[in-house]
Amino acid sequence: MMTDSFYQSRKDLIESRLAQISAWSFQELSFAVISTWNEHYNEACIGVAWQRYSVSQLSEIAVCFGPTKVPHIAPILERIDSLSRLCTPPSTQL
């Protein structure tokens, strides 16, 4: 994730998955958030702070956005990640 090519090298796979998500119902989206949380809770992942929100809060946030809006978040996060790396001195990058 900490390289410029992370998103680009996985772009087709990521966009395919986001297209699937946009076709889900609100209930399917909520179920996916909860099941993914339960499956991966406390795994080390750059940028994930498990204790920041509860699973119910994240499910509510996802449902609030809705399945057609959630896929639009990923490219925004990718841009934020790219910008944050531009502002990080090279000696502290992983």
pLDDT in tens, 34-54: 999 999 999 988 778 888 889
Q: What is the largest CA-CA distance in the chain?
A: 45
Q: What ranges in 23-91 are assigned the alpha helix state H?
A: 26-40, 55-65, 73-86
Q: What is the pLDDT of residues 65-90, one digit of tens each?
A: 899 998 888 777 666 655 555 555 55
Closest CA to 85 of 30, 28, 3: 3
**CA dist., res. 17 & res. 4, Å (int):** 20
In this structure, are residues 63 and 26 in contact, taking their beta carbons and an 8 Å threshold? yes
User: What is the distance between the alpha carbons of residues 39 and 32, in angstroms, rounded to a whole number?
Assistant: 10
pTM for the structure as a whole: 0.70
Inside any domain, residue 94: no
Domain membership flag for residue 91: no
Containing structural domain, residue 22: 5-85
Domain count within the chain: 1
